[in-house]
Structure 1
Amino acid sequence: MRLRAISGGVGIMRNRTGWRTRVVLILAALLVVAAAIRGDYPAVWTAWWDGEPTEDLRMFSMEIVWWGRIGKGLQFLAGMVALLDFVDTDKLREQGAEARRTLERILRETGKAERETASVVPLMAMKSRTAKTFLRTESTLLAPFGGNQHSIDKITIAEPVVRVPAGVPLSLDAWIDLRRRFVDERDAHHRHKNHADVCDQQLTFLHRLVHERVLESLSAEDRELLQRAERKAQGIRNTPSRTLLALLIAVLMATRVFEIGDVTGRIVVALTVIVVAVVILELALPDFMFSVWLKMRYLPAQAIASSAARTLDHVNAHHQLRRWAFMLFVVGFCLDLLAS
């Protein structure tokens, strides 16, 4: 009964997202056709039809010889897919069923991650809002002060707190303790290092204090959820920008070894723009980027499992494989033909 419900949920999700996939594929096909018509594609076919050599021509800013190599690779892949025609249908169905179970597990994990994200993002925003509220309402504690003991005592002995600022999820005692501990840290730094202003180390200390107080104010379930999400966020937020930066460096190093024409400059520019955009978004919208990266973690595995399940877990699995092999062979043959 449970498996049937899960399968039904998978079917509903597939129906909901099916039309979006079709729209994206149609738009992508139209863009490819438009680029082909306006680009070098007709010129390459014309040169081939007239019997002229095509090795010096370009298509989509890449030498035709590279398209020929891609075509040979697609033809080889088509041959490998065609070999699956010799595999028994039941074995193919078993692999398709396993892929479908994997897809169902991924969908469950994705749904769980989305629910956790929906719960965690407000908690993370609340923690950030608490720190900002402290910096705004306790401005007297952050004001520049001189280097004598009298000025320190004057700022430390401030008016007593009678209420917690609006929007802060802390009790009055917790807010007073937060205020007292920050004042102690500020005074200690001033006496030892003679700082005229609150330094970065003190602000880091403030954020750590706010983090501890917010965790204490949460329930055990929300506390565990926030801590687990922050551990994920630390890896998720750092991984994309580092990966993109490493990819950019790898491409720049590759251009020193290989020369692949005008496409090199375009790839470098595109990767540079992507890296800069990702870094800016991570700095400006950290909570939003956390949600995006959390969902993107499951997209590759979901796409692979969905394609395998849709192809193999089918009554006519061999027919599906023959269709894929035929399409791969036709596309690869056309590209290889243009390079001949």
Structure 2
Amino acid sequence: MRRRPLPLLREVNMTEQNNALSQEEMDFKAWQKAAWEEVEQFRETAEDYFGEDNPQHRLAAEFFQMYLEKSPSEIATKALDNAFTMWGNLKGVSDQVQVALKYISYTEDVWNEVEHGLLRSFGHDGREKEAILLLEELVEKVVPLKSRSALLCALADTWEREGETGKARRGFEQIIAWDASEWHVDHAQGHLYEFDNLNVGQLAPQFRLPDIDGNHIDLADYQGKVVVLHFGSTNCGWCKFIYPSLRNMAQEYSEDEVALIGISGDTDFDALRTMIKEEQFTWPQICEGNGWKDTVFKLYNMDRLPSEYIIDQAGKIAFKLSGGGEGSGEKVEEAVRSLATQ
């Protein structure tokens, strides 16, 4: 099986122009690469990924110590990113994360490296509401607007997932008003578009594009069927939780009842074809090769993988799921089952 990176894995390209880097920077890149290779080796052999023997417990602490020693610097920022990325992949570390936050200055413009690990680590420990309160507090205390935008963006995303659309909308509007980060402004605009156009009960955006075999896929042709749009990519670690359910549905239902369409954010078509063969996908795969800029990704405001859209027989959005994870496949199967039996 071809190796795949972990969720939130930071890929390290050692073929970059190292001659433009200092020795310290090259040493850090090599250490970072070795750290993630150790994590990947553990993932491939571990019986319990969330166990205490996961090397990310040790490595996250080492990366954070480097942040403290090197701050402020680019290396320190990267170390902080790695620390919180790893903490976000673990269970039982939310207390450690909460302590670490106290060592980061509110005036330092590094909080965009923090929010992902904060939310995930607290989420793994069942402390989502505490994470929300922490983010709300940080948005008020952190000074740099770029960092505040990152924190508010994470907060607005969370409000959206919790069904607090009004609060999420106001958060995204504030991010646009601050205009401190192009990425976060684009993200906010995309979600405001989603609030207006991608709600359950609204007609699904139409598209007509070739799949990777050259066959044209026109969503309008699927009227009368339940359609599952699976958004993913070959380097999406969380996608593995949805694959068994996709295969189950492909076998359980006839093509006249339920149709699956894969929408890939890959840029490497050979890698995509290899994964399709390995995972035994039998449904069409659309991939334009432009990553997040692909047509269907933009139409459905895709900014998180995996994501699922289920469209009912009338062509309306019936179900949405973003982010995947354990149990996500079962939720999709249940939603499809309820529609297919109508």
TM range (shorter): under 0.3
Higher relative contact order (CA 8 A, sep 6+): 1
| TM value normalised by structure 2 | 0.21
